Chains A and B, each alone.
Chain A
């Protein structure tokens, strides 16, 4: 179906959850309470790396008001030698991350937890827990962790036959890179670093858990997947999944960081032990110290090209910090790095390196911005060296339908070239620049994702619609689903309510993440709605006493399919619903699918910066995001994803980083010193939506949220080069670094 035929798809409808969110009524995880509720608090390691020799909780237990104390002895152990993958995690690492077992692996690693009548008593009690630590040398940075004499975090971890902090590697290869480089007229090879950055969701992790006397648990929590919460909590507590009901609270931002759990199993165990509902919330400091940022990285990128700009070979080698336990997003880095290009000879290789930082969690296109950064920077330099416009260089080498990517797949129809052409034709690209201003461009790719989704579409007795899906709505997906359902049924958008079910009320649905939610949930909602439409046609056929195949559904009503079917007045949804009991009973249908066909997404960014030579500050003054989204079901929320991703990229490029002291402790665990972009840091963020529909999706959706983070880091960096002629290969390009490059010794101090 083409866009112009649509009544609701492509409309900027009011989101179904909107009124509650602008009046303060929307219930986020920390907003829930229960009768008899008590408060839990976590005791965290004061050391970056230490053996836990013993824990004595007796004094804490004796404090009046304390109702339960727990340690890792209460959590199910998953032995190191038996891999236990669950989604993108492994329970061996999860059981050690939610609470340190024999070793604290980072400053802030949970060691014990207390539940008490008030938060203050719980905090006081946690200080009475006596932990005997043997402090060990720590490794924070990659170079410290891979040095020959590095402190080894895990004695069981080996690489190439030796004790090591390298947890694993991943490699993609195509053609013969050596031969490819031999054909090149120009080869550029550079080293890069990026810093770990936090997802920065404004809502700290929180949960409320009630384990009743029958040992059945109810969990209210903020996560990117209630089924993930249920599964992991069940595994870590030894409960069966059917005894846990996980209710997804409204989620105050996740960006990948809420695809794992921290507090839920602790609160479950404390609730079980105390016989009371237990609420736990993290402070911002706890979020910054102990919830996953994305990896810091170092990399070497080498690209060779002919004089006409044809790339002959490209190679990228990446080291990514995992934090204290394995699981850096190496796949995203080595898979996405070269993905926008048609490269005959390509090779990417990545290392997963453990170090004494909090375990990383997914962050918007996990790994992809890291992989892309060096590649897009080298391409910028290559374009200058060859005297080719940087967009033309990308156009010359752009991946297209039929291109085999270095990471394996052969691309179907897609809109990368369209994003480059639109960028070239855009006013922004031609606008004049002033003094100290510069312009940069970059492109990026994300895989997108399918996977399991479930939905139920029910027709109410008065002929309206309730849709239930299994994905926490993190940025407006309910509005997109309502648009699609209203479109299919041919009814007013306002007659469709969309809800997020809990683990007991809707079928299994995988995480909200990877830009999969609208892609996957609209597939199950489409199938469910089509089943409902078939039922409605059958009911009409029964009333008219004709063959169901002779009934069409059009404009919200059943109609005879042509003159041969007979002459009957249309039967509307409301009329059919009112007569449902006499014609067959309740009307509703569900679908549960392991969805496939999520094709990759591509985007191109244009960034203008102005560098203040007195202050050493780079400001983004104009920004345009151009992206193929397949189909923009709700354009306002599509734009919102593009703008939000770009803003996060600007923060990553210019300011955000963790500062560690010599003891391996984060020195800036708050919003004042960990500087995310605020309103006055940014200009308007312009968007240009390209729609090359995904042929494998009923509405053409590809996924949108991840891609717009990917090109931003290098677009900003390339713009700064254009402004001041300095190529920064290390992020962030913060005022001290910029001042040093501008030879401002005072400011750089």
Chain B
């Protein structure tokens, strides 16, 4: 078995070090070693988006990323989205508008939606739908999710004025 690699990274703003096998995915590391189980494994092939995280601000599927690639980078996960007890406006809106049913896709959906709004604070419905096309949800038919993202964007724009 190959020797483990020592990785220094930043996760949700905190410095973090871990040992990983060269073949370990970032998702395995988050879930099985770092106790960050908010990212889920729905497919392991980058098709469902439940493992979404950001790597230096870019949205990625952590199941397709090697843990070793975290070296020197900044990672954010769903666990880093709320500020203390204050939910991010997207999290709050998802609750208010019932934009989740079973909740398994929710962490990935929120991470992806935040990455969208960071990049584009005023997305059209079509832009939201295409941005979230990599995040599968089987419960909601996406209606309330798309509405929640657009309503949050509108509120955040208003608040930024």
Contact = CB atoms under 8 A, between A and B. Distances in A.
Interface residues of B, number: 56
Contact of A640 (B36, B140, B146): B140
Given A30-B40, A643-B144, A678-B133, A255 B91 contact: no
Contacts of A684: 125, 143, 146-147
Contact of A22 (B95, B139, B143): B95
A671 B45 CA distance: 9
Interface string A571-598: 0000000000000000000000000000
A546 to B, nearest CB: 44
B136 A671 contact: yes
A507 interface: no
A253 B143 contact: no
A644 interface: yes
A276 to B, nearest CB: 16
Interface residues of A, number: 56
Nearest to B46: A672
Nearest to A646: B141
A724 B142 CA distance: 28
Contacts of A21: 100, 103, 106
Given A637-B98, A644-B101, A23 B81 contact: yes
Nearest to B144: A640
Interface string A665-680: 0000011100011111
Given A255-B138, A671-B136, A643 B103 contact: no
Interface in A639-655: 639-641, 643-644, 646-648
A250 B101 CA distance: 11
A62 interface: no
B50 interface: yes
B144 A648 contact: no
Given A636-B98, A644-B138, A680 B40 contact: no
Nearest to A473: B102
B99 to A, nearest CB: 9
Contacts of A14: 95-96
B67 interface: no
A685 B104 contact: no
Contact of B102 (A203, A281, A647): A203
Nearest to A23: B82
Interface string B68-79: 000000000111
A252 B44 contact: no
B38 A24 contact: yes
A25 interface: yes
Nearest to A635: B98
B152 to A, nearest CB: 12
Contact of B146 (A23, A201, A281, A679): A679
B40 A203 contact: yes
B136 A676 contact: yes
A644 B94 contact: no
A204 B42 contact: yes
Most chain-A Cβ atoms within 10 A of its Cβ — which of B36, B79, B104? B104
B64 to A, nearest CB: 12
B34 interface: no
B38 A474 contact: no
Contacts of B145: 679
Given A643-B140, A679-B142, A284 B103 contact: no
A19 B95 contact: yes
Contacts of A203: 40, 42, 102, 104
Contacts of B31: 30-31
B141 A647 contact: yes
B141 A22 contact: no
B48 interface: yes
Given A26-B103, A250-B103, A670 B87 contact: no
Most chain-B Cβ atoms within 10 A of its Cβ — which of A200, A281, A680? A680
A341 interface: no
B95 to A, nearest CB: 4
A154 B53 CA distance: 49
A202 B143 contact: no
A254 B102 CA distance: 9
B37 A18 contact: no
Contact of B43 (A476, A641, A670): A670
A25 B135 CA distance: 19
A251 interface: yes
A321 B69 CA distance: 46
Contacts of B130: 679-680
A12 B147 CA distance: 16
A6 interface: no
Interface in A374-416: none
Contacts of B81: 23-24
13 contacts: A19-B87, A24-B77, A31-B37, A254-B102, A255-B138, A644-B138, A647-B140, A670-B45, A671-B47, A672-B47, A676-B136, A677-B141, A684-B143
Which 6 residue pairs of A and B lie closest in terms of their CB atoms, listed nearest first? A24-B38, A252-B104, A647-B141, A636-B98, A21-B103, A24-B78
Given A22-B100, A676-B138, 8 more contacts: A24-B36, A30-B41, A202-B104, A203-B102, A284-B48, A678-B136, A681-B133, A685-B141
